[in-house]
Amino acid sequence: MESLHKIATRRLRILWIVLGALLLLSVTPLWLYHRQVLQLSEEKLQDTERLQQSEMTRSLASETLQFVQSVREQLLSQRQMLALTGWIQDVDDPVHAPQVSRLLQDFAENNPNILYVSAVDKQAKGQSAGSFSADRDPFVDGALKRAFTASIQGLNFISEPFALGHDNRPALVISVPLFNDGQFTGMFAAVVSGDRLLERLRDASVRDRVVFLVDGHGHIVAYPDPREMVPGRDVTSTNPLVSKFRELPQELRATETMHFTLAGKPPVEMIGTYSTIPELRWAVIAQRSLAEARIDAGVQELTAQAMNFVIVVTLVALFLGYLFAVGITGPIRGLVVSVRAISRAEFHERVQIRGAAEIRELAETFNHMAGDIEEYVERLKLAAAENRELFLGSIKMLAAAIDEKDPYTRGHSGRVAKYSMMIGETLGMNPQDLDRLKISALLHDVGKIGVDDRVLKKPGKLTDEEFDLMKQHTIKGANIMRPVAQLKDILPGIELHHERMDGGGYPYGLPGDQIPLMARIIAVADTFDAITTNRPYQSAMDLEYAMERIRSLAVSKFDPAIVEALDSCIRAGRLRLTAALVEV
């Protein structure tokens, strides 16, 4: 009976699955048809919008280039006039200054796009004309100064966009250098109004479409409503079209349409196009909300009608499918919860085995897999702990071997490591950096392996030649450890712990902040141990004397913050001197 009940239950679950599949099949053709109609309408809409935007941006890019080139050609024409009259040699010469001033005035009056024009000599002094006072606007003054610097280098110049007046009118500075017989004599520059460009952008920005100009830095050159987007504003981070344009090679002429989303509440799905103007390193950008485009094309109404019909059929299908869905989703939901727990390293989590035969089999397999993973991870943890202990043991043995070369330095590396760890903890270093500091301190004298014993164990004062040999132990130590890639982060403590804050240390004479924190800590700990232990050249000193000596070297040799941290450890009673070998 129990076996028959299991079979009936299994058949019942499969029946529900089949029933659900049938219901879905009844809805799917309608839904696919609806999606196909929407897709075709959407594609036609987007193709039309893409074509319009591409043609518009290319046309505006061409007009913009012609506008800027026209202004530049006029400047070049005026420069030719100055050359023909000979005034180009010195436009600020009092003899012909009135004629130059009149030339500029005529040029400004006859060109409505010119707000201000100036001709200056190589000392940036000269004549100017126009309806605008450049020296009263810091943006214009800064742009003219950059233009003059470019002119000195013999370059034509177009400034970044900036806003003028209370209504934020777009403007920019265009300049050409002045030369006479190949020698730089000055600059001819104009402050150019962007009103003509602004008017064209406004004409193109209709039916919720926005068309604007940006430069190669992602700054607004001109925007249909300057109150909304001021010229010079950086829109790279807020507009994916601008960001995409900035990634292109500056010399590339390209037009591209793309979909993107403008951040907001709610986010707005957009379609936009950019056309580059490589000669100016600008781009014309057109963008439009897809929602508005759909309304304009009648797609939204079509969508609503088709959607209403599909919704009715879908609701019926959902009602019938709900009964079998509950029976399937429950076990699957439990499986998802367990999978997420495993992803959080909670390997003890197990799936409750229930549901259809296929789901039960999946749950059993998952539980078996989770058990295997848990066992494997435990073995990995144990192996990692053993490897770390072996690594640290090897480091300590190497440090002990170094110290054994000289009976006076027995236990020195261990004590320096202990003092360094205390200082690092006081300074608030994180556990990972403390671990590196500990290993570096243990190995800080590893280079002494390569120092001749007659120098290393000499009881008296070293000669200059012997001291030079001794100083090589820092570089030798770093070279010994450098082939081990895993130890690259500890090399600064080995190589630089004899550097001084005033730059008088060795091996490189690094000053102040150029010395890594690890090396500065080991330097203090190393000196502290040297003062408080017996050496051939001195007897061990007490804590008070040692700290007084180290404080006297703060700023010149040691970092004052590290000296203060060491002093804090002593005052707190954490650091006490002992004759026994220090274990770290």
Per-residue pLDDT tens over the stretch 362-372: 667 777 777 77
| Beta strands 162-164 and 157-158, pairing class | unpaired
Range 54-59 average pLDDT:
93
pLDDT for the residue 2: 46
- The candidate with the shortest Cα–Cα distance to 272, out of 212, 198, 218, is 212
pLDDT for the residue 503: 92
161, 170 Cβ separation under 8 angstroms? yes
CA distances from 213 to 72, 73, 218 (A): 19, 22, 9
On the 0-12 / 13-18 / 19+ scale of CB atoms within 10 A, 341 is middle
pLDDT for the residue 47: 84
Task: Kindly state whether residues 43 and 165 are assigned to the same domain.
Answer: yes
CA distances from 192 to 131, 144, 283, 467 (A): 11, 12, 18, 70
Q: Is the pLDDT of residue 348 over 70?
A: no
**3 state DSSP class of 203:** helix
In CATH, what number is assigned to the domain containing residue 554? 1.10.3210.10
pLDDT for the residue 530: 86
Structural domain count, the chain: 2
Q: Is the pLDDT of residue 51 over 50?
A: yes
Q: Where is 119: in which H helix or E strand?
A: strand 114-121
Task: Kindly state whether residues 48 and 177 are assigned to the same domain.
Answer: yes
Q: Is residue 96 part of a domain?
A: yes
Sign of the CA dihedral with 494 first, then 495, 499, and 505 last = positive
Range 528-544 average pLDDT:
79
In CATH, what number is assigned to the domain containing residue 256? 3.30.450.20
Cα end-to-end distance, the chain, whole Å: 71
pLDDT for the residue 454: 75
Top pLDDT among 211 and 408 is at 211
Cβ count near 237 (within 10 Å): 10
Q: Is the pLDDT of residue 566 over 60?
A: yes
pLDDT for the residue 407: 53
Q: Is the pLDDT of residue 535 over 90?
A: no
Cβ count near 519 (within 10 Å): 24
Top pLDDT among 233 and 22 is at 233
Residue 25 lies in domain: 15-297
- Residues 201 and 215: their CA atoms lie apart, in Å, by 15
- Residues 431 and 105: their CA atoms lie apart, in Å, by 72
Q: Is the pLDDT of residue 583 over 50?
A: no
CA distances from 151 to 118, 146, 155, 174 (A): 13, 9, 5, 11
Q: Which two tokens stand for residue 222?
A: 């001109």
Maximal CA-CA distance, the chain? 122
DSSP code string of 131-191? SS-GGG-HHHHHHHHHHHHHHHTT--EEPPPEEETTTTEEEEEEEEEEEETTEEEEEEEEE
Q: Which two tokens stand for residue 518?
A: 């690890």
pLDDT for the residue 160: 87
Q: Is residue 342 part of a domain?
A: no
Q: Is residue 107 part of a domain?
A: yes
Task: Kindly state whether residues 291 and 409 are assigned to the same domain.
Answer: no
pLDDT for the residue 66: 93
- Residues 505 and 166: their CA atoms lie apart, in Å, by 60
| Final residue in a domain of this structure, among 297, 327, 342 | 297
pLDDT for the residue 461: 76
The four Cα atoms 323, 329, 330, 335 give a dihedral, to 10 degrees, of 170
Q: Is the pLDDT of residue 14 over 60?
A: no
pTM confidence score: 0.47
Q: Is residue 358 part of a domain?
A: no
- The candidate with the shortest Cα–Cα distance to 52, out of 346, 271, 282, is 271
| Final residue in a domain of this structure, among 253, 274, 297 | 297
Q: What share of the chain is helix, strand, coil (3-state, %, to 5)?
A: 60, 15, 25
pLDDT for the residue 424: 94
Place of tokens 């806003």: 163
CA distances from 168 to 132, 217, 229, 232, 289 (A): 14, 19, 9, 10, 26
Q: Is the pLDDT of residue 223 over 90?
A: yes
Q: Is the pLDDT of residue 9 over 70?
A: no
- Residues 445 and 477: their CA atoms lie apart, in Å, by 7
Q: Count how many Cα atoms sit within 13 Å of the Cα of residue 488 in the half-sphere of its side chain.
A: 3
CA distances from 116 to 14, 163, 173, 194 (A): 84, 15, 9, 13
Q: Is the pLDDT of residue 441 over 60?
A: yes
Between 146-150, 262-266, 500-504, 570-574, the lowest mean confidence (pLDDT) is in 262-266
Cβ count near 243 (within 10 Å): 14
Q: Which two tokens stand for residue 433?
A: 């950096």
Place of tokens 């006076």: 408
Per-residue pLDDT tens over the stretch 281-330: 999 999 988 877 777 655 555 566 666 766 776 666 666 666 666 666 66
User: In DSSP terms, which residues pair with 129 in a beta bridge?
Assistant: 117
Q: Is residue 457 part of a domain?
A: yes
pLDDT for the residue 305: 64
- Residues 170 and 232: their CA atoms lie apart, in Å, by 9
| Final residue in a domain of this structure, among 250, 266, 297 | 297
Range 386-408 average pLDDT:
65
Q: Is residue 383 part of a domain?
A: no
Range 489-510 average pLDDT:
92
pLDDT for the residue 455: 75
Top pLDDT among 573 and 3 is at 573
Q: Which two tokens stand for residue 194?
A: 């962007």
DSSP code string of 369-414? HHHHHHHHHHHHHHHHHHHHHHHHHHHHHHHHHHHHTSGGGTTHHH
Tally the residues of the chain.
Answer: 584
Range 516-521 average pLDDT:
94
pLDDT for the residue 3: 44
Highest mean pLDDT among 38-47, 242-251, 286-295, 299-308 belongs to 242-251
Place of tokens 């309806």: 131
Cβ count near 421 (within 10 Å): 20
Per-residue pLDDT tens over the stretch 87-107: 999 898 888 889 999 999 999
pLDDT for the residue 510: 93
Q: Count how many Cα atoms sit within 13 Å of the Cα of residue 75 in the half-sphere of its side chain.
A: 27
On the 0-12 / 13-18 / 19+ scale of CB atoms within 10 A, 348 is exposed
Q: Is the pLDDT of residue 414 over 80?
A: yes
Q: Is the pLDDT of residue 8 over 50?
A: no
Highest mean pLDDT among 112-121, 405-414, 440-449 belongs to 112-121
Q: Where is 256: in which H helix or E strand?
A: strand 255-262
Q: Is the pLDDT of residue 408 over 60?
A: no
Q: Is residue 137 part of a domain?
A: yes
Q: Is the pLDDT of residue 19 over 80?
A: no
178, 186 Cβ separation under 8 angstroms? yes
Q: Is residue 303 part of a domain?
A: no
Per-residue pLDDT tens over the stretch 176-215: 999 988 899 999 999 999 899 999 999 998 888 999 999 9
Q: Does residue 507 have a cis bond before it (omega within 30 degrees)?
A: yes
Q: Is the pLDDT of residue 508 over 50?
A: yes
pLDDT for the residue 168: 87
Task: Kindly state whether residues 283 and 417 are assigned to the same domain.
Answer: no
Between 348-352, 364-368, 382-386, 575-579, the lowest mean confidence (pLDDT) is in 348-352
